[in-house]
Amino acid sequence: MNTRTKGARVESLAKKKLEKEGWLVFKKDHTRWSPGDIYGQFDMIATKGNTTRYIQIKSNKSDFYTARKSVAKWVKDTGVTSPCEVWLYEGKSQWRCETI
């Protein structure tokens, strides 16, 4: 399985998990001409009531650590106060979720 296919599968699992918990999820599709990241950082935005969450999904542990640094810098630079999260799929329906 190539990395793009694996990433799409993990993003789909995350979206299903959020929707099952009652979140409304927006996920931009990746295309050949656009990478699909929202604000250049996030794979999806989830909303429920007055809460909005920005979420970056990773399926590789080393990418997870890199993404945490990148999201932390983005939060600092933009001043966003909504929860910004990085999720790592560890397999067997196990997620590691960190809020930046």
Question: Phi and psi of 52, rounded to 5°?
Answer: -120, 135
Handedness of CA 92, 15, 19, 81 (dihedral sign): positive
Give residue-wise pLDDT tens across range 10-32. Answer: 999 999 999 999 999 998 776 66
Contact between 52 and 81 under an 8 Å Cβ cutoff? The reply is no
Q: Does the structure show a pLDDT above 80 at 70?
A: yes
Question: pLDDT-derived band of residue 40, with 50, 70 and 90 as boundaries?
Answer: confident
Question: pLDDT-derived band of residue 63, with 50, 70 and 90 as boundaries?
Answer: very high
Question: Phi and psi of 17, rounded to 5°?
Answer: -60, -45
Tokens standing for residue 7: 């990433």
Q: What is the pTM of this model?
A: 0.89
Rounded distance between C-alpha atoms, residue 26 and residue 37, angstroms: 11
Tokens standing for residue 42: 């996030």
Hey, what amino acid is at 51?
Answer: T
Mean pLDDT (whole number) for 24-50: 85
